[in-house]
Amino acid sequence: MTMKLDGSVTGPWVDEFQKAWQSVSVSLGSRKLRIDLREAIHINEDGQKLLAEIHKASGAEFRADLPMTKYFAEEAQRASRKRDDEEKR
């Protein structure tokens, strides 16, 4: 299953992304989640936190092609790992 983000994920769009994630998460089952960031141009701090939460909860794979979208993916993965480390302490 793939969720695709495009444009700016800020303000009310973070809320929409959260709603979409909640809808997808209940029907995901054993399927692998992919988040396509290739069309995203900006993700604010709240959007980054949500990406990290989704990655932590689902192990989502990110599709990214440009330096900025790769940065979004790497930051979400880093934040997810950091939360895992903090929870283990």
Per-residue model confidence as pLDDT tens digits over 39-63: 999 999 999 999 999 999 999 999 9
Question: What are the structural domain ranges in the chain?
Answer: 38-89
The answer to whether 1 and 34 are in contact (CB under 8 A) is yes
The answer to whether 63 and 37 are in contact (CB under 8 A) is yes
Per-residue model confidence as pLDDT tens digits over 10-31: 999 999 999 999 999 999 888 9
Selection from 12, 80, 75, 72 nearest residue 41 by Cα? 72
Residue 81 has pLDDT above 90, yes or no: no
